[in-house]
Structure 1
Amino acid sequence: MATSVKSPSDAATEQVEEPTIGRLVADASRDLSALVQHEIALAKAEMRFSVKAGLLGSLLFLVAGFLGILIVILLSFAFAYFLTMTGLHPAWAFLIVSGAYLLLAVLLVVVGIGRIKKIKAPEATIETAKQIPAALKGQRSAPDAG
């Protein structure tokens, strides 16, 4: 039966192979730091892509809105010229179209004012926010009877 004799270098290798708690903590800390850095890099890359897509989408909406305004202007001219085909003087035709837009603007302002008047303060939120300081101090506030 042959016995193997370990040389001093083999014994040193065995000691190096068994990490200490300090080494494990250092490795875990390094790995965690690398993981966080990679996650941040991934988030930046995803956000960069999302921002580019959002900007492109916004730009396309702006161009569409600009073209929509041009269409409204051209249709207004077309409608005014259509009115001139009925024998109406062009000045009156354009005045009629302008008056129609004025009525539409007034209607939108009236509806907008009505909607704004419906805005109310968030009463329930204000009431609970008033109770927060007492709750942080450990005091109990009386429950509402509502």
Structure 2
Amino acid sequence: MTSNLKDGLSTAELIRQMSEEVSRLVKDELRLAKMELAEKGRHAGKGAGLFGGAGVIALYGGGALVAAVILLLALAMPAWVAAVVVGVVLLIVAAVLGFLGKRQVSAASPPAPARTMESLRHDIDAVKERAHR
């Protein structure tokens, strides 16, 4: 900034320059935030697809195991009673898992572009420091 004073720039020109630089800086930070969120979104999408595939396969495996447990219990009691017992146990487990999942989701913080926010704070501090000089 001292070189600009030597060049004879007026205060108004210096303020205009600073305004343009701040505007460019804000646009760059917004572009960085957009890129960071897009990257996070791609990773989340891939992860969700993989979890979905794993869930489908686990569903088939779980169904086979449930049938095996029902058949095993059917050796000691009527088959319909064995199916009711297994169904009730599965519903209880599902209720517990649903409650725990709800608590986890409500405890999750919203995703935010952390690196961009830190960079923006640094930029604001730098602009403030320049303005004081």
Range class of TM-score, shorter chain:
0.5 to 0.7
Aligned with residue 58 of structure 1, among 33, 37, 48:
48
CA-to-aligned-CA distance 1:87-142 (integer Å, 9 cap, x gap): x8xxx54x355223222145458879xxxxxxxxxxxxxxxxxxxxxxxxxxxxxx
Structure 1 residue runs without a partner (length 5+): 1-15, 113-146
**Aligned partner of 2:62: which letter?**
V
Higher RCO (CA-CA < 8 Å; seq separation 6+): 2
Given that 1:76 and 1:97 are in contact with CA atoms closer than 8 Å, whether structure 2 keeps it comes out as no
CA change 1:64–1:97 in 2 (3 A) is farther
Query: Comparing both structures, which one devotes a greater share of its residues to helix?
Result: 2
Tell me if 1:74 matches 2:64: yes
Q: Which residue in 2 is equivalent to 1:33? A: 23
Aligned with residue 85 of structure 2, among 93, 100, 105:
100
What's the TM-score, normalizing by structure 1? Answer: 0.50
| Separation of aligned partners in 2, 1:83 and 1:105 | 15
Q: Decide which structure has the larger Cα Rg and report it.
A: 1
SS, match of residue 24 in structure 1:
helix
Aligned alpha-carbon RMSD (Å):
3.3
Q: Report how many aligned residue pairs link the two structures.
A: 92
CA change 1:45–1:106 in 2 (3 A) is closer
